[in-house]
């Protein structure tokens, strides 16, 4: 196995308001180890504090997005190691959902177990249509514990989610798109262009607006409609006095594209 520093396990860069995060263990199909969890949490914390990031792309280097937990790591783990992993793994799996900025998953090759759960934690999932996916944990004597039992039923309904989780069956991204589990399944050679085009559309919108919209949408999953509408109204009020709101109105009057600043 190739030795890497923790910062090299998950690569991170920002250009033109778009952050790119890449799993970087291609020799093991980006299997997730405890240091990867730690680095992922660190990177998303950094993004949350960076006003220059307006959109995030999560991808994997090499032949796969992510095949889930590193099975070779576990036999050598002490009880304390296991406890630490269980303590930080929920933070890693929720990092995409808790990130205030929109997060796009760019998925190819394989997205299995925790890898698929990380993709489903993103706001938009774009995958090469031949990507092999699955929550395979029951085949390994476990259950999906990175949000899979909660996210999949909300996306495709409990009956289909139970079938896929109980059987541990693998499926393609094309099937996942048909079920509504992911947003898009595209030809492999069109994947990067599709993701980049979506990211460019997102950063053309007011970043403050997208932050509040994501907050409202995520909260709606746990609220009734009446309370959700109250929250929506409160978040709308926060936008009214921002520079970006004023700029949008001025640009509309002047018939030009707005130049947002995230303020």
Q: Which of 38, 60, 68, 114 is catalytic?
A: 114
Instruction: State how far the Cα of 10 lies from the Cα of 6, in Å rounded to an integer.
Output: 7
Instruction: State how far the Cα of 228 lies from the Cα of 217, in Å rounded to an integer.
Output: 9
Q: Which of 95, 111, 115, 137 is catalytic?
A: 137
Q: Which of 31, 60, 117, 206 is catalytic?
A: 117
64 is catalytic: no
Tokens 């030009």, residue located: 256
Report the length, in residues, of the chain. 263
Write down the number of H helices and E strands in the chain: 11, 9
137 is catalytic: yes
117 is catalytic: yes
Report CA-CA distances (Å) from 25 to 51, 133, 198: 29, 18, 26
Q: Which of 69, 176, 199, 248 is catalytic?
A: 69
Three-state DSSP state, 99: coil
3-state secondary structure 152-208: HHHHHCHHHHHHHHHHCCCEEHHHHHHHCCCCEEECHHHHHHHHHHHHHHHHCCCHH
114 is catalytic: yes
Beta bridge partners of 60: 23
Instruction: State how far the Cα of 217 lies from the Cα of 192, in Å rounded to an integer.
Output: 26
The catalytic residue positions are 69, 114, 117, 137
């Amino acid at each position: 196995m190739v030795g890497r520093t923790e910062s090299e396990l998950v690569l991170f860069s920002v250009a033109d308001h778009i952050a790119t995060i890449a799993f970087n263990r291609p020799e093991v199909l980006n299997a997730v180890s405890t240091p990867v969890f730690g680095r992922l949490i660190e990177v998303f914390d950094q993004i949350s504090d960076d006003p220059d990031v307006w959109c995030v792309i999560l991808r994997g280097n090499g032949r796969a997005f992510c095949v889930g937990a590193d099975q070779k790591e576990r036999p050598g783990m002490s009880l304390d190691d296991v406890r630490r992993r269980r303590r930080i793994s929920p933070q890693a799996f929720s990092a995409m959902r808790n990130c205030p900025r929109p997060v796009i998953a760019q998925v190819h090759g394989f997205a299995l177990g925790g890898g698929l759960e990380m993709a489903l934690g993103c706001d938009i999932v774009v995958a090469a249509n031949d990507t092999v996916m699955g929550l395979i944990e029951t085949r390994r004597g476990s259950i999906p514990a990175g949000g899979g039992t909660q996210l999949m039923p909300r996306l495709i309904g409990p009956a289909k989610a139970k079938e896929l989780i109980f059987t541990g069956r693998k499926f393609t991204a094309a099937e996942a798109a048909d079920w509504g589990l992911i947003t898009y399944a595209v030809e492999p050679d069109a994947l990067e262009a599709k993701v980049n085009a979506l990211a460019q559309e997102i950063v053309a919108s007011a970043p403050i607006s997208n932050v509040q919209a994501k907050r409202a949408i995520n909260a709606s999953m746990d609220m009734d409609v009446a309370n959700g509408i109250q929250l929506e109204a409160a978040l709308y009020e926060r936008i009214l006095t921002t520079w970006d709101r004023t700029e949008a109105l001025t640009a509309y009057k002047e018939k030009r594209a707005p130049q947002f600043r995230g303020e």
